[in-house]
Amino acid sequence: MLIKPTLERLRALRLSGMAEALARQMEDPGMTRLSFEERFSLLVDQQWLSRQNKALARRLKNAHLKHAACVEDIDYRHPRGLDRALLQSLSTSQWVAAHHNLLMVGPCGVGKSYLACALAHRAVRDGFTALYTRATRLFRELALARADGSLDERLRQIARPDVLIVDDWAMSALSESERRDFLEICEDRYRTRSTILTSQLAVGHWHEQIPTCRDGRRQHPGPLGAQRLSHRAGRPLYAQGKSGADRRGQGGDAGAWNLKTAADGLPPGRRCNKLCYC
């Protein structure tokens, strides 16, 4: 039997996984003991796995994750104070399906970016899409998009992933245009997507990094966008302890950190006509 034309047609139909499985079956004499239905089932399974693996590789490539991290690699044996039950509940990706947000706060070097990438990696493996970016790079790209007239398209691209990681958030004060761009991102993703923010600044102080606006009578600090995120975040995750540089200077473990939950958020307020949270 000439099998080569059949393999070529399978590849032309983009069934390369089934073609490879069929070629292996033809080379294995033991396959003759299986029924047609059993052999065909093996071909379908191989094609399904091939497409799933390609889709996973494509999602991971498009995510641009900073660290090749996964939740299974988190070592709980070291005395880092990790809340294992909390991390295991987050590793199910149910928070992504529920469109909740994660706020990770702690000093430099405690592993916020690694943990964010690990949770995003798990979400990608569960079929969700993700995107990693640093806050400075994000606002720089938005500024360039505004200059060349592609801002709307860029904002749609940012709103599309199921999980958006914004690393090193609130490291410096935002400009007026950055505040408005971030508000657009939060509004587009509110209750429809999940966002992970990592920051060295406590959540309660984020409003101090946002430009103030005036309504003619008084000055109102604080962003509506940060309130949107904290409202869907539940309890922020706090990585406590000294920075990695401080620990290394004292001869301690540069990877040691303590993760816990804390009920913290932005102060209550009201909206003004400049779309900020007051």
- Domain-wise residue ranges, the chain: 4-59, 64-261
Q: Taking 90 as the threshold, does the pLDDT of residue 97 lie above it?
A: yes
At a CB cut-off of 8 Å and minimum separation 6, what does 128 contact? 59, 93, 96, 162, 163
Q: Return d(Cα 30, Cα 50) in angstroms, integer.
A: 23
Q: Identify the bridge partners of residue 194 per DSSP, sorted by sequence position.
A: 163
Check: CB of residue 224 under 8 Å from CB of residue 183.
yes
Residue type, 239: A
Check: CB of residue 165 under 8 Å from CB of residue 102.
no
User: How does the average pLDDT of the chain come out, rounded?
Assistant: 77
Q: Return d(Cα 42, Cα 39) in angstroms, integer.
A: 5
Give the CATH class of 64-261: alpha beta
pLDDT digits (tens, 9 = 90+) for 26-52: 888 888 888 989 999 999 999 999 999
| Higher local confidence (pLDDT), 263 or 39 | 39
Q: Taking 50 as the threshold, does the pLDDT of residue 275 lie above it?
A: no
Query: What is the residue whose two structure tokens read 């101090």?
Result: 208
Check: CB of residue 99 under 8 Å from CB of residue 232.
yes
Residue 258: strand, helix, or coil: strand
pLDDT digits (tens, 9 = 90+) for 6-31: 889 889 999 999 999 999 988 888 88
| Averaged pLDDT for residues 81-100 | 86
Q: Return d(Cα 128, Cα 97) in angstroms, integer.
A: 9
By DSSP bridging, strand 237-240 and strand 219-220 are unpaired
How far is residue 177 from each of residues 134, 141, 174, 180, 236, measured CA to CA in Å?
17, 12, 8, 5, 27
User: Two tokens at 256?
Assistant: 């040691």
Half-sphere exposure of 147 (CA within 13 A, CB side): 6
**pLDDT confidence bin for 202, thresholds 50/70/90:** confident
What size, in residues, is the chain?
278
Hey, how many other C-beta atoms are within 10 angstroms of the C-beta on 37?
A: 8
pLDDT of the residue at 171: 85
| Averaged pLDDT for residues 232-245 | 45
Q: Taking 60 as the threshold, does the pLDDT of residue 265 lie above it?
A: no
